[in-house]
């Protein structure tokens, strides 16, 4: 029995020894975790603020008939892009041509009468001087001459009016833009008693985007902005393809809305390809300044638990360490860190689901391609001073 116990103890010791050896061997064979890191640094970073906004045409013109008549022709298609001065409609011209001809004829008639009156004045002038004709007759001819000169001036004005009304029978585009569907058809009587709406033209290049920052944001913006007309861009959410329009802020209202404590502002945006139409919901991104230094990191590398926010840094021993942080300003591109990090810290930005404190890693620095400046460069957010 004693021999059996000794054999059992020996077997147990051998088993435990093999298990410990196997465990030690397993621990020693775990390779370092490959991770990418970025080196953080407090530096001047362009600060952008994002707001919701709505687009509006930069110009919206109603095209109306200014004279009455039957519509004879339409020279564009519904929805067509038209240019300023392009011919759009024609109203029957017969009445206006006749009025112009009548005004011109009246002028010729008055000019003939004026010529006769001048001849009478010229003929009677020496007779009166010699006492051979009464002065009253001369004065009548002189008055007639002056009246005819006034009549001719009125004829000229009537001709100009007739020419103007005739010109209104050909209706041109007042601006560049997209025409709406025509509001009338050929054969309709237009302009009878009112200025009939024919179509509407909207200019959407440039296009406006109106947005309303809070009063506090507006005050900070006014205090820290780096440009008189700050850069801005608008993005269309949930679009099938990425749509970004670049521009600048060129207007802010002169009063705060008392109901919302916001200030209406406007961005003027390039829209040459007409990708965005009026009434589109957009995110307006407003450049504030790049004169101040911040320590920024990408949002995706931040973890949160009951103790707060933290990131993983790689220490000098190539080991992961938890670093508790406090954040301030943020957007979808970066987060400002106020506590917990310092210049030169290396933050793990890959294999995020595998990171654990004390884990040995094999780090590759990717600051040049995945650091904050690289992210800003990729998204065209590095503003150049003009």
110: helix, strand or coil: helix
The pLDDT tens digits of the residues spanning 167-206 come to 999 999 999 999 999 999 999 999 988 889 999 999 999 9
For every residue of 183-244, DSSP letters joined together read SS-TT-EESSSS--EEEEEEEEEEEEEEE--BHHHHHHHHHH-SSSS-EEEEE-TT-SS--E
Query: Residue 89 and residue 288: Cα distance in Å, rounded?
Result: 48
385 lies in a domain? no
236 lies in a domain? yes
Q: Does the pLDDT at position 284 exceed 50?
A: yes
221 lies in a domain? yes
* pLDDT at position 216: 86
Percent of the chain with pLDDT strictly greater than 70: 91
Residue 263 buriedness (CB in 10 A; 0-12 / 13-18 / 19+): buried
Listed residues 289, 310, 326: the one ending a domain: 289
Task: Enter the tokens of residue 227.
Answer: 């440009």
Query: Residue 150 and residue 190: Cα distance in Å, rounded?
Result: 35
182 lies in a domain? no
For every residue of 258-324, DSSP letters joined together read TTTTB--EEEEE--TT--S-TT-EEEEEEEEESSSEEEEE-GGG-EEETTEEEEEEE-TTSBEEEEE
User: Which residue's entry shows tokens 């007409």?
Assistant: 274
The pLDDT tens digits of the residues spanning 142-161 come to 898 899 999 999 999 999 99
User: Which residue's entry shows tokens 């919206």?
Assistant: 60
* pLDDT at position 94: 93
Query: Residue 228 and residue 218: Cα distance in Å, rounded?
Result: 14
Q: How confident is residue 139, by pLDDT bands cut at 50, 70 and 90?
A: confident
Query: Residue 198 and residue 65: Cα distance in Å, rounded?
Result: 7
- Give the count of domains, the chain: 3
Q: How confident is residue 39, by pLDDT bands cut at 50, 70 and 90?
A: very high
Radius of gyration, alpha carbons of the chain: 42
User: How many beta carbons lie within 10 A of that of residue 72, not counting itself?
Assistant: 13
* pLDDT at position 121: 81
* pLDDT at position 195: 85
41: helix, strand or coil: coil
Query: Residue 185 and residue 183: Cα distance in Å, rounded?
Result: 7
Listed residues 248, 269, 289: the one ending a domain: 289
* pLDDT at position 129: 81
Q: How confident is residue 26, by pLDDT bands cut at 50, 70 and 90?
A: very low
Task: Enter the tokens of residue 247.
Answer: 């521009």
Q: How confident is residue 11, by pLDDT bands cut at 50, 70 and 90?
A: low
Mean pLDDT along residues 235-241:
81
Q: Does the pLDDT at position 43 exceed 80?
A: yes
196 lies in a domain? no
Least confident of 33-37, 124-128, 243-247, 292-296: 124-128
Mean pLDDT along residues 24-30:
56
Query: Residue 375 and residue 40: Cα distance in Å, rounded?
Result: 13
Same domain membership, residue 299 and residue 242: no
Percent of the chain with pLDDT strictly greater than 90: 67
Closest CA to 230 of 94, 67, 27, 51: 51
64 lies in a domain? no
Same domain membership, residue 213 and residue 276: yes
Query: Residue 201 and residue 173: Cα distance in Å, rounded?
Result: 8
Task: Enter the tokens of residue 80.
Answer: 């067509």
Question: CATH code at 121?
Answer: 1.10.287
Same domain membership, residue 299 and residue 283: no
At 93, which helix (H) or strand (E)? none
* pLDDT at position 71: 95
* pLDDT at position 1: 46
Same domain membership, residue 284 and residue 218: yes
75 lies in a domain? no
Same domain membership, residue 345 and residue 334: yes
Same domain membership, residue 267 and residue 210: yes
Mean pLDDT along residues 251-262:
91
Question: CATH code at 263?
Answer: 2.40.30.170
Q: Does the pLDDT at position 137 exceed 50?
A: yes
Contact call for residues 286 and 269 (beta carbons, < 8 A): no
Listed residues 289, 318, 349: the one ending a domain: 289
Residue 60 buriedness (CB in 10 A; 0-12 / 13-18 / 19+): middle
Least confident of 23-27, 133-137, 280-284: 23-27
Question: Can you give the residue range of the structural domain that contains 300?
Answer: 33-46+293-378
* pLDDT at position 2: 45
349: helix, strand or coil: coil
* pLDDT at position 132: 76
Mean pLDDT along residues 235-264:
89
* pLDDT at position 157: 96
- pTM of the predicted model as reported, rounded to 2 decimal places: 0.71
Q: Does the pLDDT at position 102 exceed 60?
A: yes
Mean pLDDT of the chain: 88
140 lies in a domain? yes
Q: How confident is residue 131, by pLDDT bands cut at 50, 70 and 90?
A: confident
CA atoms lying within 13 Å on the CB side of residue 337? 25
229 phi and psi angles, rounded to 5 deg: -120, 85
The pLDDT tens digits of the residues spanning 50-87 come to 999 999 999 999 999 999 999 999 999 999 999 999 99
Question: CATH code at 356?
Answer: 2.40.420.20
Q: How confident is residue 8, by pLDDT bands cut at 50, 70 and 90?
A: low
């Amino acid at each position: 029995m004693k021999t059996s116990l000794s054999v059992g103890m020996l077997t147990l010791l051998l088993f435990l020894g093999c298990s410990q050896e196997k465990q030690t061997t397993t621990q020693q064979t775990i390779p370092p975790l490959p991770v990418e890191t970025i080196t953080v640094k407090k530096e001047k970073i362009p600060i952008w603020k994002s707001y919701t906004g709505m687009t509006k045409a930069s110009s919206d013109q109603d095209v109306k008939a200014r004279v009455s008549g039957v519509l004879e022709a339409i020279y564009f298609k519904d929805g067509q892009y038209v240019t300023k001065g392009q011919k759009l409609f024609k109203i029957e011209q017969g009445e206006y041509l006749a009025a112009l001809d009548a005004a011109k004829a009246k002028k010729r008639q008055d000019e003939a009468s004026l010529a006769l009156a001048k001849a009478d004045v010229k003929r009677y002038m020496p007779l009166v001087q010699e006492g051979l004709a009464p002065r009253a007759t001369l004065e009548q001819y002189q008055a007639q001459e002056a009246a005819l000169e006034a009549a001719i001036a009125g004829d000229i004005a009537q001709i100009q009016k007739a020419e103007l009304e005739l010109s209104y029978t050909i209706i041109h585009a007042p601006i560049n833009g997209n025409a709406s569907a025509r509001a009338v058809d050929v054969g309709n009587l237009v302009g009878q008693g009112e200025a009939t709406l024919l179509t509407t033209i909207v200019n959407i290049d440039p296009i406006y985007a109106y947005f309303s920052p809070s009063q506090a944001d507006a005050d900070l913006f006014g205090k820290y902005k780096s440009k008189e007309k700050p850069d801005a861009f608008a993005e269309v959410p949930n679009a099938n393809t990425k749509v970004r329009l670049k521009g600048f802020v060129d207007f802010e209202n002169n009063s705060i809305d008392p109901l919302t404590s916001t200030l209406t502002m406007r961005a003027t945006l390039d829209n040459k390809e007409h990708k965005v139409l009026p009434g589109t919901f957009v995110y307006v991104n407003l450049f504030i300044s790049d004169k101040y230094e911040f320590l920024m990191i990408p949002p995706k590398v931040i973890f949160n638990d009951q103790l707060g926010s933290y990131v993983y840094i790689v220490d000098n021993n190539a080991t992961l360490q938890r670093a508790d942080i406090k954040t301030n300003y943020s957007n979808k591109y970066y987060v400002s860190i106020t506590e917990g990090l310092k210049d030169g810290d290396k933050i793990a930005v890959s294999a995020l689901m595998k990171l654990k404190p004390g884990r040995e890693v094999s780090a590759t620095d990717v600051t040049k391609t995945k650091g904050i400046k690289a992210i800003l460069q990729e998204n065209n957010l590095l503003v150049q001073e003009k």
